[in-house]
Amino acid sequence: MNVSATDCFHCGLPNPPDTNYQTAVFDNIETMCCPGCLAVTEAIVEHGLTDYYKFRTAPAAKAEDGLEEQAILEQLSIFDAAELQADFVADEGQLKSVQLTLEGITCAACGWLIERHLSKVAGISQNSVNVSTARAMVKWDPTQISLSEILKQFAAIGYTARPFSAEEHEQIFQEQHKRFIKQLGLAGLMTMQVMMLSFGFYFDWLGNIDETMAEYFHWISLVLTTPVVFYSGSTFYLGAIRALLARGVNMDLPVSIAILGTYFAGIKAVIIGDGDVYFESICMFVFFLLSSRFLEHRARYQATEIASNSMQYIPLSAHLIQANQNTEIVLAKQLKPNQTVLVKAGDTIPVDGVIIEGTSFIEESMLTGEFVPVSKAPGEKVFGGTLNQAQPLQIMVTQTLEESLVNKIARLQESAMSHKPKVAQMADQLSQYFVFAVLFISTVTFFTWTYFGNDNAFWITVSILIATCPCALGLATPSALTTAMARLQKAGVLIKRADTLERITKVNHIVFDKTGTLTTGAFSIAHTWYADETHKNLIDSIVASIEQFSEHPIARAFECSHPISVKDVKVVINQGILGEFEGALYRIGNAKFMPCAIPNHILNATVFVSKNEQIIAAYWLTDALKVHTTDVVSALADAYSLSIISGDAAKHVSEIAETLNIKEAHHGCRPEDKLSILTELQSSKKVVMMLGDGINDAPVLAQADVAVTVGNASDFTKHSTDVILLQEHLAQLPLLTALAAKTKRTIKQNFMWALGYNVLVLPFAIMGVLTPWQAALGMSLSSLIVVYNSARLLRFRQHN
Amino acid sequence: MNIIYVLIPIAIIIVAVAIVAFFWAVKNNQFEDLERQGHSILFDDDVTPSPKSEQHKRD
C-alpha cells in the first residue's frame, strides 16, 4: 500500500498546499492533510503500532479534525447513563460487555490496529474486531474505565464506534448459522470416514475381505453414520414434521423417508448379517442437502447483518437549562413538557417544542423533503429531528420524545412495512406438487415390485427417493441469489433481503423522490438575465461578495472566486440581503424584497438584484442533478414507466421532470400523501420500485414493492429499504435491474436442469437399474452443475 | 491384516477429537471473520518504537 508523496500519509486524500502536519513514521518524515490525521498517526506511532501502515491494503478514513472531535467527545459522555446502557450493555459478573458498530474500517489491518490499541488500555479485559461485519466486542471493568472512555480510545486512532443492539431475529439467525456449520462439519468428516471404508468394498482394495471383516466394517460404518443421521439430519425431520402439522408436505418429507428408511434397513441388515448396507450414501446425501440449505441460510443471514448495522443506537441528547441557568447534557427521551432546552447552531432539535428565545433558520428536510430552511421566531413550533442552522435557540418542550412527530412517522413506516404485498413463493408451490408426485410414484413402484416378488423392492424405492431428491432443485434458487448478491456488492449495491432480486424482475413502474435522490439538494444557477449585459461580470462578483455574508443555502450557489469589498451588509430574514458598493445600494432577494416593480418576463426568477431602486439582474436557480442521473433515467425509460413524487414546490419539480423527460410528477407531498399516491399505483396493478433518501420517504419506501435508497440517505430510511446503493448517484441502477433479470434466467435454467435430470433418471430408478449409491452420486453431480451455472453470475457484465 | 482392527478404532478416536475441536471452534466464533485472521501472521506482536521516532518526539 503506497501513498504518493503529495497525498496524506494516513488517509490518502490530497494534501492541501503548504501543509506542515508532519511526523516520523518508519524513520521517514511523512506529511498529513489535517491536524486530525496527524493526531491519529502520532497516536499510532506512539503506541508502537506502525505495522498497521506496513500491511494495510487500503488507506484509512479521514480523521475528524479538532473542533468536530471535541463536539463528538462531549456527546460521548451520554453513553455512561445507566438507564441508556440497560438497552445494549450486558453484565457479566464484575465485567460488562458491549457490541459496537465501527465506521472507518477499510481493511484487515484496521482490525489488528484496534485490537492492539485496546489491549493496552487499562480496564479493557477482552476485545475482538470482526472486519467483514465492521463490528467489535469489548469487555471491560466498569470500576477502572467508563464506556465513553472506551469510545474515545476508538476515536484516538481514527475510528467511530457506537453501541448498537442487534435485532432479535439476527440473534436467532446467528444461532441457526452456527448449528448449520456444526451439522455440516460433522456430516463432512463422517462422510469421509464412511466413504473410506466402503471404497474398500467397491474396489476390493483390501484384497479378499472375509465375512468377519465385512461385518466389522459395517458395524464401524453404523457407529459413524448414527450421529450424521440424528444430529446433522435433524433439520429435515423437524422440517417434515412442521409441514405435516401444518397439513402440508414439503421437500423434507421424501428426504426424511429416504434417510431413515435406508438407515433402519441398514441396522437390520447389520444385525441379522444379511442384506444391503448403504451408510455411505446416507452420509453423502445428508452432506450435499445440508450444503444447499446452508448456502440459502447464509445469504439471508448476511442480508440481516447488513440491515442491523445501519440500526446504530444513537440516542439524541439535549442541553437542558436548569433553574440556576446552568446547562446539563441529558437524554432526549428524559425530557418532559415545560422544560427548557438550549439548541446550539448546527445542532439537531431533540424534541417537539415552541421557541421562547431566538430567531433562526430551521432545516426541516427530514419532514418535508425540502432543503430550503424555514425561518422561525419565538412562539413558533419546531419539530424534533429538524436541524437548527443559524442562531442558538431556547425551546420549551411541548411533547415527550415518545409523542413527537418523528416517532409518529416511524410508526407509519412500521405499519406500512407490515402491509407490504407479498409475492407468492413459486418454488414452494412447485415443490408441493413435486413431492406428492415422488411419494406417489415410489409407493406404486414399491407395491408393484413386491407384487411381482422382487426382493429388491425396498432398495428400488429408496433409489427413487434419492435419485429424485430435490437437492439440485433446492440449490437452484439460493446459489443463484447468493452469487448475484456478491456480484452486486462488488459494484456497491447492497441487497438486504434475498427475495428482492426476484421482485425486481416484476417491477414495471419506478418512482423517484426528487431532492437528494435525483438531485444533490444543493442549488446552482440555471440561467441569468441582466438589464445591461456589459456589466455582467461586475454584477456577478458584487452579488457573490454580498452573498458571502449569508448562511442561506441559496447563497452557496454563488461562487465567490475574487471577493471585492462591499460595505454595510445586512441580512433580512426570509427576504434577502443588502449591501453597499461604490456608494450604490444593492438589494438581493426575492420579489417582495425589491423596492420597485419587476418586469413581467422575469417574474418567475428565483433571485432578483436591484441597484438604487432599479432591477439590474435576475437569477434562476435549480437544484443540480446528480452525476449520471440523466443517463440512468433515459436508460430506464425504455423498460419502465417513471414518475416523481416530491415534497418540493411545483416549480422545481416540473423543471426537473421536464429535463429528465418524466411525464408524471407530483409535488408538495407530505409523507402520508406520498404513501397514498403509491398505494393508488399499486392498486392499479403496478409493481412499484421506489427510490428515496429522506426520513419523509421512509413510510412510502416501506410500502413500495422494492425500495431503494442512495448512499446519502439517513440511517432511519435505510432501515425500511430492500436495496442500498452505496454511492450517492444512481449509476448502478441499470446493473441492478439487468442482473436481476439475468438471475431469474439462471434460476430458470437451474430448475430446468434439476427437474430434467430427475425426470430422466426416474425410469432407471423405477426399473431397478440404479443402486442407491449410484443415485446418490448422480444427485451430487447434478448439484455441482447447478452451482457452477450460478457461479457464472459472478462474472456478469452489462452490455454496452 | 489384523492390525486394521486396532487402526480403525484409533482413526475413530482421532475423528472424534477433531469433531470436538471443530464444535469448540464454532462455539467460540472462530468462523465469524475469515478475512482478518489471515493477515494476523503479518504483524509482530510487540513492536518497540524505533529510536529515531522516539527522538523526534522529544524534539
* pLDDT tens digits, A590-645: 877 888 888 888 877 888 888 888 888 888 887 778 888 888 888 888 888 999 98
Mean pLDDT, residues B29-51 taken together: 66
Question: Which of B5, B31, B50 minimises the CB distance to A181?
Answer: B31
pLDDT score for A372: 66
Q: B33 and A223 in contact by Cβ < 8 A? A: no
Among A22, A113, A186, A204, pick the best mutation site for testing chain B contact (most B Cβ within 10 A).
A186
Question: Which of A48, A182, A189 minimises the CB distance to B49?
Answer: A48
Among A54, A57, A173, A211, pick the best mutation site for testing chain B contact (most B Cβ within 10 A).
A54
Q: pTM score, two decimals?
A: 0.65
Q: B49 and A50 in contact by Cβ < 8 A? A: yes
* B42 interfaces chain A, CB cutoff of 8 Å: yes
CA-based nearest distance A501→chain B, Å: 26
Question: Which of B5, B12, B36 minimises the CB distance to A108?
Answer: B36
* B58 interfaces chain A, CB cutoff of 8 Å: no
- Per the CB < 8 A criterion, the answer to whether A210 and A183 are in contact is no
Q: B8 and A220 in contact by Cβ < 8 A? A: yes
Question: Which of B12, B19, B36 minimises the CB distance to A111?
Answer: B36
pLDDT score for B51: 46
pLDDT score for B59: 44
Q: Cβ of A727: how many Cβ atoms within 10 Å?
A: 16
Q: B19 and A189 in contact by Cβ < 8 A? A: yes
HSE, side-chain direction, 13 A CA sphere, residue A382 = 36
pLDDT score for B55: 44
φ/ψ of residue A172, rounded to 5: -60, -45
Contact residues for A548 (Cβ-Cβ < 8 A; gap 6+): A555, A560, A563
CA-based nearest distance A6→chain B, Å: 22
pLDDT score for A420: 46
Q: A129 and B23 in contact by Cβ < 8 A? A: no
Question: Which of A24, A26, A55 minimises the CB distance to B42?
Answer: A55
Tell me the residue type at A67. L
pLDDT score for A249: 78
Q: Which residues of A touch B33 (CB under 8 A)?
A: 111, 129-133
pLDDT score for A559: 75
- Per the CB < 8 A criterion, the answer to whether A460 and A768 are in contact is yes
Question: What number is the ipTM of this complex?
Answer: 0.75
Q: A189 and B40 in contact by Cβ < 8 A? A: no
Question: Which of A51, A111, A128 minimises the CB distance to B44?
Answer: A51
Q: A189 and B46 in contact by Cβ < 8 A? A: no
Copy the grid coordinates of residue A699.
413510510
Q: A207 and B11 in contact by Cβ < 8 A? A: no
Q: A112 and B39 in contact by Cβ < 8 A? A: yes
HSE, side-chain direction, 13 A CA sphere, residue A784 = 6
Provide DSSP, A400-419. Answer: -GGGSHHHHHHHHHHHHHHT
* B59 interfaces chain A, CB cutoff of 8 Å: no
A727/A729 Cα distance (integer angstroms): 6
A457/A282 Cα distance (integer angstroms): 18
Checking DSSP bridges between strand A28-32 and strand A89-92, what pairing results, if any? Answer: unpaired
Q: Which residues of A touch B56 (CB under 8 A)?
A: 23-24
Q: Which residues of A touch B5 (CB under 8 A)?
A: 216
* B47 interfaces chain A, CB cutoff of 8 Å: yes
Q: A48 and B47 in contact by Cβ < 8 A? A: yes
| pLDDT tier at B45, thresholds 50, 70, 90 | low
Question: Which of A45, A133, A223 minimises the CB distance to B53?
Answer: A45
Among A189, A198, A221, A302, pick the best mutation site for testing chain B contact (most B Cβ within 10 A).
A189
Compute, in degrees rounded to 10, the torsion defined by CA atoms A40, A42, A47, A52.
60
Quote the percentage of chain B above a pLDDT of 90: 24
pLDDT score for A585: 87
Q: A45 and B1 in contact by Cβ < 8 A? A: no
pLDDT score for A418: 55
* B8 interfaces chain A, CB cutoff of 8 Å: yes
Q: What is the pLDDT of residues A442-479, one digit of tens each?
A: 899 889 888 888 777 888 888 888 887 767 777 787 77
* B40 interfaces chain A, CB cutoff of 8 Å: yes
* Residue spans of chain A under pLDDT 70: 1-5, 18-19, 64-74, 83, 87, 165-169, 202-209, 296, 299-300, 302-316, 365-372, 406-431, 470, 498, 551-553, 560-561, 573-574, 714-716, 719-720, 799-800
Q: Which residues of B touch A131 (CB under 8 A)?
A: 33, 35-36
Q: Cβ of A309: how many Cβ atoms within 10 Å?
A: 20
pLDDT score for B50: 46
Q: Which residues of A touch B30 (CB under 8 A)?
A: none
Q: Cβ of A696: how many Cβ atoms within 10 Å?
A: 27
pLDDT score for A421: 43
pLDDT score for A613: 83
Question: What ranges in A491-620 are assigned the alpha helix state H?
Answer: 500-504, 536-547
Q: B4 and A190 in contact by Cβ < 8 A? A: no
Q: B53 and A185 in contact by Cβ < 8 A? A: no
Q: B53 and A190 in contact by Cβ < 8 A? A: no
Provide the 3-class DSSP secondary structure of residue A523: strand
Q: A130 and B48 in contact by Cβ < 8 A? A: no
Contact residues for A51 (Cβ-Cβ < 8 A; gap 6+): A109, A112, B42, B43, B44, B47
Among B32, B40, B58, pick the best mutation site for testing chain A contact (most A Cβ within 10 A).
B32
φ/ψ of residue A337, rounded to 5: -55, 150
- Per the CB < 8 A criterion, the answer to whether A637 and A512 are in contact is no
Q: A178 and B27 in contact by Cβ < 8 A? A: yes
User: In whole angstroms, how large is the CA radius of gyration of chain B?
Assistant: 23
Q: B19 and A213 in contact by Cβ < 8 A? A: no
SS3 string, A432-475, reads HHHHHHHHHHHHHHHHHHHHCCCCCHHHHHHHHHHHCCCHHHHH
Q: A24 and B27 in contact by Cβ < 8 A? A: no
Q: Which residues of A touch B21 (CB under 8 A)?
A: none
A123/A90 Cα distance (integer angstroms): 16
- Per the CB < 8 A criterion, the answer to whether A287 and A187 are in contact is yes
Number of H helices and E strands in chain A, helices first, is: 25, 29
Could you tell me the sign of the dihedral formed by the alpha carbons of A636, A638, A640, A646, in that order? positive
Q: Which residues of A touch B12 (CB under 8 A)?
A: 193, 220, 223-224
CA-based nearest distance A257→chain B, Å: 27
A64/A651 Cα distance (integer angstroms): 39
pLDDT score for B22: 93
A373/A345 Cα distance (integer angstroms): 13
Chain A residues within 8 Å of chain B (Cβ atoms) = 23-27, 45-46, 48-51, 54-55, 108-109, 111-112, 116, 128-133, 178, 181-182, 185-186, 189-190, 193, 197, 206-207, 213, 216, 220, 223-224
Q: B1 and A213 in contact by Cβ < 8 A? A: yes
